Amino acid sequence: MNQDQLKQAVARAALDYITPRLSSDSIIGVGTGSTANHFIDMLAEIRTEFDGAVASSEATAERLKGHGIPVYELNSAGTLEFYIDGADESNERLELIKGGGAALTREKIVAAVAKTFICIADESKMVGVLGQFPLPVEVIPMARSHVGREIVKLGGDPVYREGVVTDNGNIIIDVHNMDLSRPIQAEERLNQIVGVVTNGLFARRPADLLLLGTANGVQSIP
Ligand code: 5RP
């Protein structure tokens, strides 16, 4: 199977996992990216079996609506049973790097609200130590230079993601070569820099379940 087929397989596994656990008033949190897009397209198959969804980006909201799935504002949604999303990297503790698609802030908010965060990813995303994928950081535009200098002090190499504006009107700095061997500490330290909105480490709130697409089938971790 190629990478896209592995993404489809984990999207299907997530759908199979949640379907028997849904009720007619369930609202599902939905992530952003190519793996999440496969999940959204499959979610359309069961759209009469749940109430609607909360989207982690404008792109996801549009795709959900295109399938006739009602999209709710998070503030009016109440409880979210599940959040389903992809990742750029995961370690064995299901601590993640996310934000390759620049949606990290809304993704982190929806993940924080959901009772169960199911990460869906192909096996290329599994790593021993996080950080080969540059860590995305969402930054208030006027703080770009200041945040860059502070990241250098932490040992990272900041690279401004040219031409990208997030759904929240901010910019993205991708951090290369930073030591992320202690992900919770790194997440907290980056959050303390004035001007940082969010960073793409999902370590304080890791995924609860990782459905990993491999050549031998979908692995469920833990
Ligand atoms: C978007 C994300 C995505 O989940 C991450 O980039 C993975 O994307 P894909 O499923 O396309 O490989 O965090 O901000």
Tell me what the mean pLDDT of segment 191-207 comes to. 98
Q: How far is the CA of 69 from the centre of ligand 1 (A)?
A: 21
CA distance 17 to 191: 33
Catalytic residue IDs: 107
- List, for residues 52-75, the tens digit of each pLDDT value: 999 999 999 999 999 999 999 999
Tell me, in angstroms, the distance from the centre of ligand 1 to residue 198's CA. Answer: 16
Kindly give the distance from the C-alpha atom of residue 95 to the centroid of ligand 1, in angstroms, as a whole number. Answer: 14
Integer Cα distance of 169 and 163 in angstroms: 12
End-to-end Cα, the chain, rounded Å: 23
Q: Tell me which DSSP letter residue 208 carries.
A: S
pTM, entire model: 0.96
Judge whether residue 178 has pLDDT over 90: yes
pLDDT digits (tens, 9 = 90+) for 128-146: 999 999 999 999 999 999 9
pLDDT on residue 79: 87
What is the token pair recorded at 118? 């199911």
Q: Which amino acid is at 205?
A: R
In this prediction, residues 203-220 reach a mean pLDDT of: 97
* 68: nearest Cα among 39, 29, 40, 34: 40
Nearest ligand 1 atom, CA 99: 14
Asked whether residue 33 is marked as a ligand-binding residue, the answer is yes
* Confidence at residue 11, expressed as pLDDT on a 0 to 100 scale: 98
Question: Does 79 count as an annotated binding residue?
Answer: no
Q: What is the ipTM of this complex?
A: 0.98
